[in-house]
Amino acid sequence: MTTHTAQQKSTPAAHHRGLTEPEAARRLAEHGRNEVAADKAVPLYARVVAQLKDALIMVLLGAVVLTVVIGDHADAVVIALVIVVNTAVGVVQEIRADNAVAALSAMSAPNARVLRDSTPREVPAAEVVPGDVLLLGEGDIVAADAELTEASALLVDESMLTGESVPVDKDTGTRLSAGTVVVRGRGVATVTATGADSALGRIAALLDGRREPTPLQRRLGSLGRILAGVTLALCLVVFVLGLARGFSVATMAVTAISLAVAAVPESLPAVVTLALALGARRMADRHALVRRLPAVETLGSVTVLATDKTGTLTEGRMVVQHVWTPRGTFDFFGVGYEPEGDILFAGGRPTADELDPVRELLTVTALCNDAGLRPPQESSDGKNRWTAVGDPMEAALLAAAAKAGCADQASLQRGRARTDEVPFDSVRKRMTTLHTTPSGQVLICLKGAPEVVLDAAILGERTDLLRGARQEAALLAARGYRVLAVASGTRDDVPRHPADVESGLRLLGLVAISDPPKPHAAATLAACRAAGITPVLITGDHPATARAIAARVGLLNDDHTQEHVVTGPDVAAGRVADLTAVRVFARTTPQQKLDIVQAWRARGQITAMTGDGVNDGPALRQADIGVAMGRRGTEVARQAADLVLTDDELSTVVAAVEEGRRVYDNIRRFLVYGLAGGTAEILVMLAGPVLGLALPLRAGQILWINLLTHGLTGVAMGAEPVAPGAMHRPPRPPGQQILGDGAWQRLLLLAAVVTTSSLGAGVVARHWGLPWQSVLFLALLAGQLGVVLGLRTRLLTRQNLFLPLSVLASVLLAAAALYVPFLQAVLDTEPVGWTGTGLAAAAAVTGFAAARISRPPFDKETRQ
């Protein structure tokens, strides 16, 4: 059988040849990339200035001036060093986050189908140039302004430009605008303007390109302002108590300022942005492309997963297994899209006469068809196989026609040229094409859902034949097949509109197509339930087919009755009291998908919705997380989604949810660690004088601790592996605060333990005649490093070796502060000996033990 190596859905007329590749490259260099004005790169000096504008950094700059004025050059050097390091870390984190986001944006950029060197091919939309020939089909986003040269039942949604909600019919000679959406039909258009010269580019030039903070960043910013206020109040208390004990105003001012800066994790917003961006990159490595950064955070709290069937729960590689005609049922054999296989009728091979009605039916399905078959090519797994080009169901019909010995598709189309069509859509549930026969008659080919086609208004058949066909369709659907009804007819005159001929046709029969569940579909849905996520199936298929697949993947038990599957007409008629009580929906419309998502959201649930078609776009946008298929999905679905599955595997959604939980857990872990350390430093400064430690720490020592704890280990915590029990606990409640679910209590407990152990080390050191301030400095630092190791979910894992290495580096720099002469002079420290080191080690062990004991339950589980 002759096959098509390009997408037939938008095959242009022969006179279209498109640009040559050299000419396209020349025009790309001349006109630039087909992109709206990109955000200007932020210069390095602007990033540095933005970091220095931070309120706490400005306070530190004031402290530098103050220490220089009073002649305290040692503290001035330390404070200046902290400013330099903090600013450098902030700038580096910002650049890394921007680069990660830019890489994700490049990966998620849309594609366009164009004609180059007379061959249809897919190119990045950014590489479309004036003069390119665009091939447009249902679900495509128009890549650039263009003029239509061919149009077949073309309907375009221009609402994103005009605000008009009703799609517009487009005829040959009319113009298309960049960014509009093809919702029906197909067309060929020549590009007239790209990039900033297009309608979309002119609008984009008016927009403010500033990036909005994520919801998590806004919540953390609010928390940071509260913490800053409380911290400054406590530092004022430290300042006043120091004056009361006879210390100078300058000394206490510098100490209080340093304490304020050390106590508040001022780099938190940058750490969060980096954690989200790196989390998105890890998701991309696991075949889940995040298109909007806040989705990383939202994924961790998904409670409902609404999934479609074909290609998501099922293989999406369809094969015709049965053809029913009024003369009987024929069984087809074969693998995948191979156009070879046996056909049996009544247990034996059919004769040529017996096969005639099958050939007639499959000839009609081959004509009423926009797909193609691609011959074997070397695949990623080393196997050669036939593959579908276009709709998998239509490709399966072509393979069946070849098995039945029908003429190849190209010959059929030459002999019966298509003159008009009404494409399939989710409302009509049928496709009709008109063809001119060699005798000059008009051949009508129609295929569609049995409940639509098997209607007396369409078929001029006997009532008993229609009744028998409906019964056979119901039996096949109950066995899990996707069923199509096929009809045809002829007429002598050309109708004004092809839909006018959809009556008085002759029923040719039914086609039963198998699309088996994916091997891991049941395990994936079981993993969802284990993670507290409710799976829901929403499909346009027959209710019996939906129920059969749902039972096979564990969404319904085998003993459930038909009543457990709700249909779109049931929803439309108001016969379903509670949409959230249903787990399988069949024959749904786009509006009903939207209603189902909204019902779950109204109950406060966080919904993820999968989809691949134009009709899925509204529901994908309405869901908290829209998930589109990367391989077989339409451009509309991909652009409407928050997450694109590059492998079309539902299990990838579960992996993305796990990654989202990991990111959120790591941010909370960093907050507990950072705020516990800052709180401990304030408590040490408040309680130390009561225990006879007049000025527990100097300003430089406080900032050195802050530098080693937040600067190195804090950033390393963002790369910690996922908690062993992360996918065996319910999602966090949507309204839960960032420090909710016991985080505040753990924070205060750890702060109290670190404070007590470090002050204890200082008091004992003073009693034994050791340099107590240096011992206290080392113990407070060691206690916090013990906490960061104790908070690890997997203590001895080889994942994220950066964390133990950063702790080791902090230990070495702490030792350098005590034994390197320059740092001794700057930080006012002295060697503490083995005894002082032992006291600090005891503080580290105490902090480590407290962190291990206080971990949340899911951190303590073993991997299932």
Q: Three-class SS of residue 225?
A: helix
86 pLDDT tier (thresholds 50, 70, 90): low
pLDDT at residue 688 greater than cutoff 80:
yes
Of 45-49, 162-166, 641-645, where does mean pLDDT reach its minimum? 162-166
Domains within the chain, CATH numbers bracketed: 17-31+111-204 (2.70.150.10), 44-102+230-284+656-860 (1.20.1110.10), 288-313+518-648 (3.40.50.1000), 319-511 (3.40.1110.10)
Query: What is the reported pLDDT for 634?
Result: 65
Looking at residue 641, its pLDDT comes to 82
pLDDT at 852: 92
Q: HSE, CB side, 13 Å, CA atoms: give it for residue 256.
A: 21
Confidence label for 859 from pLDDT (cuts 50, 70 and 90): low
Give dist(CA 116, CA 751) in Å, integer: 66
Q: Looking at 227-356, which runs of residues are DSSP E strands?
A: 288-290, 304-307, 319-325, 328-332, 343-345
For residues 832 and 696, the answer to whether their CB atoms sit within 8 Å is no
Query: Percent of the chain beyond pLDDT 70?
Result: 82
Q: In 10 A of CB 250, how many CB atoms?
A: 15
Q: Is 570 helix (H, G, I), strand (E, B) or coil?
A: helix
Q: What is the mean pLDDT of residues 98-124?
A: 70
- pLDDT for 851 equals 93
Residue 377 has pLDDT above 50, yes or no: yes
Least confident of 351-355, 449-453, 592-596, 719-723: 719-723
pLDDT over 80 (residue 81): no
User: Position 62: which residue type?
Assistant: G
Q: Between the CA of residue 28 and those of 52, 92, 300, 625, what are the distances in Å?
A: 41, 33, 41, 35
End-to-end C-alpha distance for the chain, whole angstroms: 50
> 237 or 851: which carries more pLDDT confidence?
851
8 vs 98 pLDDT, higher one:
98
Exposure string of 35-52, with b = 16+ CB inside 10 Å and e = fewer, is bbeeeeeeeeeebeeebe
Note the maximum CA span of the chain. Answer: 114
Distance CA 564, CA 545 (A): 13
Q: Flag whether pLDDT at 20 surpasses 60.
A: yes
Q: Per-residue pLDDT tens for 256-279?
A: 776 666 666 655 655 666 677 777
Amino acid, single-letter form, for residue 491? R
pLDDT at 11 (0 to 100) = 44
Known active-site residue 308:
yes
Answer with the residue of higher pLDDT: 383 or 343.
343
Tally DSSP H helices, then E strands, for the chain: 30, 25
Residue 610 per-residue DSSP state: E
Kindly state the average pLDDT of the residues 619-634: 80
| Structure token digits, residue 478 | 């109950």
CB 666 within 8 A of CB 676: no
**pLDDT exceeds cutoff 80 at 499:** no
Instruction: Of 30-44, 128-142, 595-609, 649-663, give the lowest mean pLDDT range.
Output: 30-44
> Residue 770: is its pLDDT beyond 90?
yes
Predicted confidence (pLDDT) per residue in 776-813, tens digit: 999 999 999 999 999 988 888 888 888 899 999 999 99
Over the stretch 296-315, which tens digit does the pLDDT of each residue have? 878 888 999 999 887 788 87
The mean-pLDDT minimum among 460-474, 530-544, 606-620 falls in: 606-620
Cβ neighbors of 474 (< 8 A, separation 6 or more) are 544
pLDDT digits (tens, 9 = 90+) for 165-223: 557 888 888 898 887 878 777 889 999 988 878 776 665 554 444 444 555 656 666 67
Mean pLDDT of 638-666: 85
State yes or no: pLDDT of 4 exceeds 50: no
State the pLDDT confidence band at 331, using cuts at 50, 70 and 90.
very high
Other CB atoms within a 10 A radius of the CB of residue 245 amount to 11
The helix/strand/coil state of 197 is helix
What pLDDT does 229 receive? Answer: 75
Lookup: tokens for 167? 């799609």
Name the DSSP letter for residue 254. H
- Set 54, 140, 308, 665: catalytic member: 308
CA distances from 328 to 322, 331, 346, 489 (A): 10, 10, 8, 21
SS3 479: coil
pLDDT band per the 50, 70, 90 thresholds, residue 615? low
pLDDT band (50, 70, 90) for residue 453: very high
**Residue 710 and residue 267 in contact, taking contact as beta carbons nearer than 8 Å:** yes
Q: Which of 834, 833, 830 is nearest to 819 (CA)?
A: 830
The residues, ordered by sequence, that sit 6+ positions from 658 with a Cβ below 8 Å of its Cβ are: 531, 722, 726, 727
- How confident is the model at residue 210, as a pLDDT? 47
Report for 110-119, 494-503, 727-736, 824-833: range of highest mean pLDDT: 824-833
Q: Cα angle at 554 between 550 and 559, to 5 degrees?
A: 80
Calculate the average pLDDT of the chain.
81
Q: Tokens 């309405």 identify what position?
A: 622
